[in-house]
Each structure stands twice: as structure tokens, then as C-alpha cells.
Amino acid sequence: MRLMEEKILQEGQVLPGGILKVGSFLNQQIDTRFLAQMGREIARLYAGEGVSKIMTIEASGIAIAAAAGMAMQVPMVFAKKHKTSNVDGAVYSSTVHSFTHNTDYHIVVSRNYLRPGDRILLVDDFLANGHALRGLMELIRQAGAELVGVAAAIEKGFQGGGDGLRTQGVRVESLAIIDRMDDNGILFRRQ
């Protein structure tokens, strides 16, 4: 999505440690018109795949996942983050390593909202090492639901998470893939 690349070039800030800040349009302030465009683009990419539900993790994935859900006219469910693994039997749960905070946390989703037979599209703002998405995939596995694919607003290709999933046969669509990012600028992968 050329528009995403332009937006990153115009408004993104490259921070030390391989972090891209997009607080002006996705992570704190949200450019709502652009968000709707992102949702429509994800809907276009996964049209005809029989997606029955969108899934993400709170908090930063919620906006884009909701936009995709609205465009596809399907519900969106987000996994909640828990500090402890002490959760009751009414939920599916797994552990995720956070790249941005360098800690582990637990994610849970109510068994009521994830069912066998659901065809799930995972959506997130960033795809870096892929830990967040792998945690969600574990919840899908526990529920006996089916993974249709992944859509990320921004993939940091240099961290390898997206290509790792592709190698495993998972369909991964990213609205922009950054292959290199440093003081000299940002290099996008041609898709």
C-alpha cells in the first residue's frame, strides 16, 4: 500500500533500537480517514476467504482490527493482557514476549468469543519478531478455530517474524514492509 509507505515517510520517527514511532496516525493520535482506508485495504486483500472474525491484542491493535472488522462486516475480538498466568478455565491463554518492553506477558480471551469453526484473520499494527501473532495463533489452536491469515499495518521485515510465518505456510499481508531503517532513512520491500 503506497499510501502507508508515504505516511511512514512523512510522519514516522525512527528511534534507536529499531523502533518506529507512528503516534501521529496509528498509536496515539489516529488518522481516522486513513484508518478506514487501511481497513478497506485489508478487506480487499482477504475478500472471498470466508473470514468470520478478526482477532488482535489490546491495546495498539484494536483500532486497525476494528477498522478491518467494519470493512469486512465481521466481529472483532481482542485478547486481553494479564500480568499473571493465574487465569480461570473460562478463557484460552498463552504467553507473549514483548519486543518493545522486553518482558513476557499473558494473553487471554474468553472461550465465548472464540469457537471451533471460526475462520480467523489476525490483524495487528506492527509485525516485528512475530511473538504477538504466535501467541494469538496459540489461542486459535486451543479453540479449534481456523487461521485464515495475518494482516499487519507495518511489518519490520528486518526482524524476520513475517518471513518466518510465511515459511510455515501462513498467509501474511502487510500494508508496508520495512527492510531497513536507520539514520539514512527507510527502505521498503517491493511487494
**Closest approach of ligand 5GP to the CB of residue 73, in Å:** 24
- According to CB under 6 A, which one of 54, 77, 127, 145 is a site residue for ligand 5GP? 127
Specify the stretch interacting with ligand 5GP by CB under 6 A; choose among 13-21, 31-39, 72-80, 164-172: 13-21
- According to CB under 6 A, which one of 41, 118, 124, 173 is a site residue for ligand 5GP? 124
87 binds ligand 5GP (CB under 6 A): no
Q: Establish whether the linkage from the previous residue to 68 is cis, with ω within 30° of 0.
A: no
Whether 179 contacts 191, CB under 8 Å: no
19 binds ligand 5GP (CB under 6 A): yes
**Closest approach of ligand 5GP to the CB of residue 28, in Å:** 9
Whether 117 contacts 151, CB under 8 Å: no
Q: Which residues contact 169 (CB under 8 A, 6 or more apart)?
A: none
Whether 137 contacts 79, CB under 8 Å: no
- According to CB under 6 A, which one of 20, 30, 62, 186 is a site residue for ligand 5GP? 20
**What whole-number distance in Å separates Cα of residue 148 and Cα of residue 171?**
7
Torsional class of 92: left (φ above 0), alpha (ψ -120 to 50), beta (otherwise)? beta
**Of the two residues 52 and 159, which places its CB atom closer to ligand 5GP in the complex?**
159
Chain residues that interact with ligand 5GP, rule: CB under 6 A: 19-22, 27, 60-61, 99-100, 124-132, 156, 161
